[in-house]
Amino acid sequence: METTTIRVDRCTHAQLVEMSRANGDSLTETVRQAADALRRLRLGLRVQEQYAELRSDPQAWADYLAEAESTHVGNGID
């Protein structure tokens, strides 16, 4: 795997090292996990914003719910 260097302040470095040691991971793995967690968090926030925008328009929300119901596929448990 190819690597590169990033600069972080000492406090951030200390936090990353502490998390790495606590989980028995390498610093590289901890940074990878942190980046992935941040990516997922930001995606979730964007989805929340888009749902809020959709809900703010009663007709668009009703259309969305109707479409969701019409395309519902059971899980075989119900």
- pLDDT single digits (tens) 28-56: 999 999 999 999 999 999 999 999 999 99
* Segment 16-24 mean pLDDT: 97
More confident residue, 73 or 13: 13
- Say if residue 78's pLDDT is above 80: no
List the domain boundaries for the chain: 10-70
What is the pLDDT, as a whole number, of residue 13? 98
CB within 8 A of 25, min separation 6: which ones?
Answer: 19, 33
Residue 25 CB coordination number (10 Å): 15
pTM for the model: 0.75
Rounded to whole angstroms, the Cα distance separating 15 from 13 reads 5
3-state helix, strand, coil in the chain (%, to 5): 70, 0, 30
